[in-house]
Amino acid sequence: MSTGAIVMMLVGMLIIWGGMALSIANAVRVAKQKKASS
């Protein structure tokens, strides 16, 4: 494995984890808003 391939893999993982974290945070925020408004 070349260094470039490892870096690309790490960047891809970071993007995937970042996206997952954002969607989870967004879902939590929406759930809180629904609870507050109901």
* Residue 1: per-residue pLDDT: 72
pLDDT (tens digit per residue) in 1-38? 799 999 999 999 999 999 999 999 999 999 999 888 86
The domain ranges of the chain are 1-37
Burial 5-35 (b: 16+ CB within 10 A, else e): eeeeeeeeeeeeeeeeeeeeeeeeeeeeeee
State the pLDDT at residue 36.
Answer: 83
Q: What was the pLDDT predicted at 18?
A: 97
